[in-house]
């Protein structure tokens, strides 16, 4: 398949800035909306439901992280986070007995909310959403292969059965809600997700994600719409793709 100029230009810009905005009309809108609703519900769960899922219980960095449980540059991270892994992709079972390895530490089983209190819908929605997001990821990889004139599946073959796919649900506390308290500054403020491979960002509330070029200071609101994601290219992805493109 031959890439058109617009596709080539879009991915060249994405690799240069490490950021791209994509839309996938084939993604089930109902699932997209349900995931948004479930996320808002999750942050409103009773504190005891969230604390029963505390990441402190997990060797694999999975579960709930409350406001103030993490610090960045000596300041409280004013946010709440749920971390999940795609268990059906075998990552959780891929390295039995190898928990001493750094990669093995990141794989493991999720912590889910008590179904007798929350029901099963949340878990089902998260699992379905992660499976569909994996398909979105593979489509992006396929488009990249075409745009960069790489051999077929050159990038998609990296998605082996034990590849690690994670989902984070994050609620940031607006700054005006903690200004003047002991938590005066946002720990995890402006940052780039540099270490990962690809990060897909979906927004629920506005104002939300903003970006700026390294060369500029002006923050730009990322326009989100139905079935739209911001894609952050981590350094490892950019370096790997650039090396594959030098042929």
- Measured from each CB, the residue nearest to Fe ion is 193
Contact segment (CB under 5 A) with Fe ion among 18-26, 84-92, 103-111, 189-197 equals 189-197
Cα 71 to the center of its chain, rounded Å: 20
Using CB under 5 A as the binding rule, whether residue 70 contacts Fe ion is answered as no
Task: Kindly write down the DSSP assignment for every residue of 178-204, as one continuous string.
Answer: TTTSS--S-SS-S----SSSEEEE---
Query: Which residues ranging from 190 to 229 are in contact with Fe ion (CB under 5 A)?
Result: 193
Contact segment (CB under 5 A) with Fe ion among 27-35, 55-63, 143-151, 186-194 equals 186-194
Which of the 8 DSSP states describes residue 152?
Answer: T
Q: Report yes or no: 90 and 161 within 8 Å, Cβ to Cβ.
A: yes
CB of 56 to Fe ion, least distance (A): 21
Site string for Fe ion, 134-173 (x = CB under 5 A): ----------------------------------------
Helix, strand and coil in the chain, % to nearest 5: 40, 15, 45
Task: Kindly write down the DSSP assignment for every residue of 90-120, as one continuous string.
Answer: THHHHSTT-TTSHHHHH--------HHHH-S
Taking the least distance from each CB to Fe ion, the nearer of 94 and 222 is 222
CB of 91 to Fe ion, least distance (A): 20
Which residues in this chain contact Fe ion in the complex, by CB under 5 A?
A: 193
């Amino acid at each position: 398949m031959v890439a058109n100029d617009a596709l080539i230009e879009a991915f060249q810009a994405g690799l240069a800035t490490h950021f791209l905005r994509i839309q996938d009309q084939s993604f089930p809108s109902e699932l997209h909306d349900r995931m948004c609703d479930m996320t808002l519900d999750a942050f409103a769960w009773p504190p005891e439901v969230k604390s029963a899922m505390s990441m402190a219980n997990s060797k694999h960095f999975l579960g709930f992280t409350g406001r103030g449980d993490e610090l960045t540059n000596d300041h409280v991270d004013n946010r709440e986070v749920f971390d999940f892994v795609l268990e059906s992709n075998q990552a959780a079972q891929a390295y039995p007995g190898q928990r001493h390895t750094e990669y093995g530490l990141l794989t493991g089983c999720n912590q889910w909310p008590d179904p007798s209190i929350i029901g099963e819908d949340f878990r089902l929605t998260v699992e379905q959403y992660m499976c569909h997001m994996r398909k979105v990821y593979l489509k992006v990889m396929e488009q990249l292969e075409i745009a960069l004139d790489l051999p077929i599946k050159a990038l998609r073959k990296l998605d082996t059965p034990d590849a690690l796919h994670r989902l984070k649900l994050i609620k940031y506390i607006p700054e005006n809600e903690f200004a003047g308290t002991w938590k005066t500054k946002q720990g995890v403020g402006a940052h780039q997700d540099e270490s990962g491979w690809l990060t897909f960002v979906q927004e629920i509330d506005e104002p939300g994600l903003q970006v700026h070029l390294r060369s500029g200071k002006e923050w730009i609101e990322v326009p989100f719409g139905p079935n739209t994601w911001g894609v952050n290219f981590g350094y490892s992805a950019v370096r790997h793709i650039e090396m594959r493109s030098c042929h």
